[in-house]
Amino acid sequence: MDTPEACLDRIRDAWNNADAEAYGAEFEEDATYVAWSGELQHGRQQIVKGHAEIFAKWLDGKKMRVTPIRKVQLSETSAVFTTVGGLGAEDTPHDKFQTFTFVRRGQRWFCTAYQNTKMDESAKAMFNSPHL
């Protein structure tokens, strides 16, 4: 059975393979995606297009690091995860918070809303300690 955690893993794997189509496939058709820069992408097509450009221009082998710090199952068909993440080598420091809102459609989970925010210095110190 599919889970929100499996959807998050597929998102990470698609990013790490620089596969914009697979990345976008994990988002609902009308999903909202707010990047750390404040850019809003609305809908799977914009997410795919925007990430194809990202992967082609500057990804250059950078890998996604994402670690859930809070998981809230709102119902049998919805969940919200707060994560910490970063881009770079496997041991790159966390420098962003993300919020993923997941929904189950049939037997499959998708991300319906995503928000990415830069961490301040105190959060970077807290979330880059050895316990993560």
Query: Do 103 and 112 touch, CB atoms closer than 8 A?
Result: yes
Reported as a single tens digit per residue, the pLDDT across 50-98 is: 999 999 887 777 889 999 999 999 999 999 999 999 998 777 889 999 9
Q: List all residues 6 or more positions away from 130 whose beta carbon is below 8 Å from its beta carbon.
A: none
**CATH architecture assigned to 4-127:** Roll (3.10)
Query: Do 94 and 128 touch, CB atoms closer than 8 A?
Result: yes
Query: Do 103 and 27 touch, CB atoms closer than 8 A?
Result: no
- pLDDT on residue 20: 96
Average pLDDT of the residues in 112-118: 97
Beta strands in the chain (DSSP E): 27-34, 40-42, 63-75, 78-88, 96-105, 108-118
Residue 131 clears pLDDT 70, i.e. is over it = no
- pTM, whole model, 2 decimals? 0.93
Q: Where are the domains of the chain?
A: 4-127
Q: Which of 1, 4, 3, 2 is nearest to 99 (CA)?
A: 4
